[in-house]
Structure 1
């Protein structure tokens, strides 16, 4: 059964794809109340007493997961949790964008690593030329004889000392790579959280569909019996109960429409996340919605985990390093660069007479090579000082922003941890209440069927049973989605982490 114990889920990033997000929000909080469903089902089911037995209520779902689902095989029509997560992380555009961003920062780091490599510049050309003889002061040109002129020049600039410019750029590029990795982790958590909403929503919709189908059966029976008694002008016919039934019919069909909408939103959300074409059916291998069971840590422990792993915090921390490195680079630009400059040049024109005097300017037949130690210095020093000050101020602002983000993350983690702990307790309470409501329903039916009870007592018991059943399913859904949400807020899979994995200190 799908109880979120399959594999490692990774899930706060951007909203990304609007359609996906809309589908997931719809699955997170269905637009109708469990109590209203139970009232509609309970009232019409009670009206169909006749001589039939009462509806056989299902047992409360077991509190423990029912085991691992069979993995989806190649070409199979069903999807397991692991298969959905793997496919979404492989094909979703949000993940592809994060990987492309990572490749960008890897290229920037490579540029910084190769900044010490000498820069080369090559210039070369060739053309035709007539025969030229003589000296620079007196020469003869013969266009009857055509030759060629070719030249090439290779220049090199090798950095020797840059006063920390290259080292600062390397640090900035490495920090940028860390930022990109943290953003990729945020994208993974965001996608898995969305998957959890849609996946759990589809399981919830399937459970509710079963309840609605049972209710529809009893509605049809109740309506048929009421109409028959009215036509027969039977003494058992109760006009008030018949009117109440007709009133509840409209509510039931409205709730049924909401249930179908939940099912569509969840199914379409999964389809879009999986990048499947329109009309593709996503069939889950799990058959029931059961609560995730794991060892829950304290709120303080989750906060310490978040301080060390939460993706947006890691983005901020790496951003501090990058901003400081960029500030160092701006400050280093105040100083010159010490470089070695070298060049090699050659020119050849066979039909142009080579001048033997070294004092003659002969660019047509020559070769040269040389090197020197040079200084490159942009003397716009005041502006560069101000730019360095600006970069330092930005780095300081980033530090303060991260401190604010830490406080926000801590508050969020503590709230989610408390909410999750509450829902864990409520799941057990609702499971017990559902069993009690089932016993109550059986007892009131026996009394009513024997002629000693009244219809309203039976209806109340039936309403309570379906209220508890639907409430239990809704609570399991909320609990399982909260597991994903807290994992995203902490930055680790809380189902697999133990107290031994928690960092010391805050």
Structure 2
């Protein structure tokens, strides 16, 4: 069948704008829909936007600057001083000989030939000092600075691990709050269903229900509404905290990629293996190791300060005053007209009555203090790992038990409703079933949340984040 040209033209006139607006609408809808973010993406965004990580990065930069200064101490240092100012104009002095004394040595006097005019002078002094041997003053401080850089890098890794743990906790809290709101809606539906049944029996004058049952339902509804408000408030606070943590734009919204916390259980390894892994991976211990090496180097540097330093030096001085005549005799120094330079070997040795020894004792005390801190960490990290490990086992056992209880209590509700409908059950049975279901469901969600948080904390306590393990 052939379509007439006039109808074909009309078809295109109508359909083309319609298709255009449909495409435009779909594009706008896609642009306005909230972005969906998963846990790994949230962690990545949090690490990129975190001011704490940026602060730790600047600590690394500062430590690298200290290292650069320590390395530069090996090389020559140049000091230049330039001055200028007024100077009285003068000619060379003349010697007046007293002939009455026979004209012998020291038989005359020097007469000044200063002028009444004031001129200018300029002077440039410099010295270059190259350390030769310092008994470790420079090398020990260089080692301390190098260990300081590594310690700050470990501190940065530790800060990243803390942020990862915080994001996980907020992520799980936001999901479980949403599940809590759904559970409240579910319980609310059971209460409404029970109300309809009771009101229907009261309307027909059944002795199996009365107004008291409705009052008890009102009390149930109040508890459910309170739980709804708490769940909604928790979800909003977790969302706000997570949004600020990842640096998300205030005028935009996002959704999570999951609506429920997974119920699968991770196969755990042996607790002792986790403790050994923690002692190998934890950045705090690496930071303490590097810090101890830095303290030891600073102690050695303080001891080196008690010994002399040997150096090679080049010095020079140039001065000129246009209004003053130059005296070309090296025996006489002229502060306004001269030019000299030279190279020399030298040594410097500082003595005091206890200041240096006090610095050595202080450096030794700081080293011993950090040793104690390391011992304390090595004692408590295994306890932390063991606690988190046991928390995982306990939370897993709890959520599995409460999940079974919640399913059983839901079946109890169905059975209680059926018995009530056929007249062999009471409203009290329905109330108890609904109450038990609400409690079991709440305990199940809380235990499931505790399980995932305990897993996250166990992962954090053994330093999994240092190897990039999600």
Match of 1:404 among 372, 376, 379: 376
2:91 is aligned with 1:119: no
Question: Which residue number in structure 1 is paired with residue 167 of structure 2?
Answer: 195
Judged with a 3 Å threshold, the aligned counterparts in structure 2 of structure 1 residues 349 and 386 are, in CA distance, closer, same or farther, namely: closer
User: CA shift at 1:440, angstroms?
Assistant: 4.8
Q: Is the 8 A contact 1:133 1:140 kept in 2?
A: yes
* 2:290 pairs with 1:318: yes
Q: 1:415 pairs with 363, 383, 387, which one?
A: 387
Structure 1 residues 5-154: aligned runs within 5 Å: 77-127=35-85, 131-135=89-93, 137-138=110-111, 140=113, 148-154=120-126
**Counterpart-to-counterpart distance in 2, 1:254 and 1:438:** 21
Aligned mates of 1:107, 1:355 — CA distance in 2: 49
Distance in 1 between residues matched to 2:451 and 2:380, nearest whole Å: 22
Match of 1:470?
442
The answer to whether 1:377 aligns with 2:349 is: yes
The DSSP-based 3-state class of the residue aligned with 1:123 is: strand
Using the alignment, how far apart are the partners of 1:354 and 1:495 within structure 2?
A: 75
Distance verdict in 2 for CA 1:227–1:142, change over 3 Å: farther
Task: Report the TM-score when normalising by structure 1.
Answer: 0.75
Q: Decide which structure has greater helix share.
A: 2
Seen in structure 2, the aligned counterparts of structure 1 residues 462 and 426 have a Cα distance that, compared at 3 Å, is same
Counterpart in 1 of 2:324? 352
CA contact (8 A) 1:447 1:453 kept: yes
Report Cα offsets for 1:23-70 as digits up to 9, x if no partner.
Answer: xxxxxxxxxxxxxxxxxxxxxxxxxxxxxxxxxxxxxxxxxxxxxxxx
CA deviations 1:279-322 (Å, max 9, x no partner) are 76443232222146544221111111111222333332222222
- Asked whether the equivalents of residues 135 and 355 of structure 1 are also in contact (C-alpha less than 8 Å), the reply is no
1:180-229 CA distance string (max 9 Å, x none): 12221221121111111111111011111112223334445555665676
1:283 corresponds to = 255
Give the structure-2-normalised TM-score. 0.80
Structure 1 gap segments, 5+ residues each: 1-71, 499-506
* Structure showing greater relative contact order (alpha-carbon pairs closer than 8 Å, 6 or more residues apart): 1
Q: Aligned pair count?
A: 426
Q: CA RMSD in A?
A: 3.3
Rg (Cα) greater in structure: 2
Match of 1:336 in 2: 308
CA-CA distance at 1:360 after TM superposition: 2.9
2:224, 2:232 → 1: CA distance?
12
SS at match of 2:232: helix
Which of 189-198 and 357-366 deviates more?
A: 357-366
Contact 1:291 1:479 in 2 (8 A): no
Q: Is the 8 A contact 2:399 2:447 kept in 1?
A: yes
* Alignment counterpart, residue 242 of structure 2, candidates 236, 261, 270: 270
